[in-house]
Homo-oligomer: A and B are copies of this chain.
Amino acid sequence: MSFAADTAITRDDEGRYRAVIASGWDIGGNANGGYLLALVARALADASGRPDPVSVTGHFLAPGKPGAVSIESEVARVGRRFATASGVLRDASGKPLLQVLGSFGQLGASDAPERVDAAPPELPPPDACVGMTGGEMTSSFRQRVDLRLHPEDAGFAQGTPSGEPRVRGWFGLPDDEPVDTLALLLGTDSFPPTVFNVKLPIGWVPTLELTTHVRARPAPGWLRCVFTTRFVTGGFLEEDGELWDETGRLVAQSRQLALVPRPAQPLSESSS
């Protein structure tokens, strides 16, 4: 049981990828979107011959359940630095679950000009943060990733949301499994929704679309993460994420568009 093993793929003779949605990556029965995105991205990285996702977008079509899946891939272009590929994840019955479009490359040192107008989030050390593998928050997914929430952002679980649509914390994988550029895709979708920290009648916020930009391969160690929302409007909200490695380098930036159901619709994780 590891992220790498649970996102393993094999390529068949017709160029189609076979994989398994492993059990335990779900919240409430549906596999985590970042996990599914990483699974497809691994296939597309293989198909495109480039190891690192650079910009990957997934549109979520139907919930993923544990079991055999296939990934059809098509490489649109192979350039000098980047290759662009698309893929569809299907369950055993052929039903499409997730459609992905991404550009892949090999990330490394860059000698281009740099300017960063932001800093990584300030966090207490991981052991002084709130782990999400104990108590009410326990779900099998919470044992597949190692999340440590900033204490100021973890009160929603006890009914005391911070009032700010923000979630900060550390992300890692259990058993010291390294976080590679594919695992960053998981990291961008592993934290509780930002809006759990505001007093809006919002529970379940299904993701319509998630785009992650990967800027660099992370250094070994924890990732400092921050997710914020500025616009809950029109029946949608965006959630913007930043993942920074232990050297203080931004390694990934993400944005997802999620649906804001009307209050009448059933709540899920937040109401448990």
A residues sitting closer than 8 Å to B (CB atoms) are 54-55, 57, 59, 61-62, 76-77, 79, 82, 84, 86, 88, 96, 99-103, 107, 110-118, 165, 198, 200-202, 208-209, 211, 213, 215-216, 229-236, 238, 249-250, 253, 255, 257, 260-263
Q: How far is the CA of A54 from the CA of B62 in the complex (A)?
A: 17
Chain B residues closer than 8 Å to A118, beta-carbon distance: 230-231
Number of copies of this kind of chain in the complex: 2
Q: How far is the CA of A236 from the CA of B253 in the complex (A)?
A: 11
Min CB distance A153 to B, Å, is: 16
B96 close to A99 (CB less than 8 A): no
Q: Which of A59, A96, A99, A253 has the most CB of B within 10 A?
A: A59
A59 close to B103 (CB less than 8 A): yes
Chain B residues closer than 8 Å to A231, beta-carbon distance: 116-118, 215, 250, 253
A208 close to B55 (CB less than 8 A): yes
A257 close to B55 (CB less than 8 A): yes
Can you list 8 residue pairs at the A/B interface with Cβ under 8 Å? A61-B76, A61-B84, A77-B96, A103-B209, A110-B234, A112-B263, A113-B263, A216-B233
Chain B residues closer than 8 Å to A62, beta-carbon distance: 77
Going nearest first, the 10 A-B pairs with the smallest beta carbon separation are A110-B235, A215-B234, A101-B101, A55-B209, A112-B260, A57-B57, A115-B232, A112-B235, A113-B200, A61-B77
Chain B residues closer than 8 Å to A114, beta-carbon distance: 232-234
Chain B residues closer than 8 Å to A76, beta-carbon distance: 59, 61, 88, 96, 99
Q: How far is the CA of A113 from the CA of B114 in the complex (A)?
A: 39
Min CB distance A38 to B, Å, is: 17
Chain B residues closer than 8 Å to A88, beta-carbon distance: 76
Chain B residues closer than 8 Å to A55, beta-carbon distance: 59, 208-209, 257
Min CB distance A267 to B, Å, is: 13
* Given contact pairs A113-B232, A215-B231, a sample of 14 additional A-B residue pairs in the complex whose CB atoms are under 8 Å apart: A54-B257, A57-B57, A59-B101, A61-B84, A100-B101, A103-B208, A107-B234, A110-B234, A112-B262, A115-B165, A115-B233, A117-B229, A117-B230, A118-B230
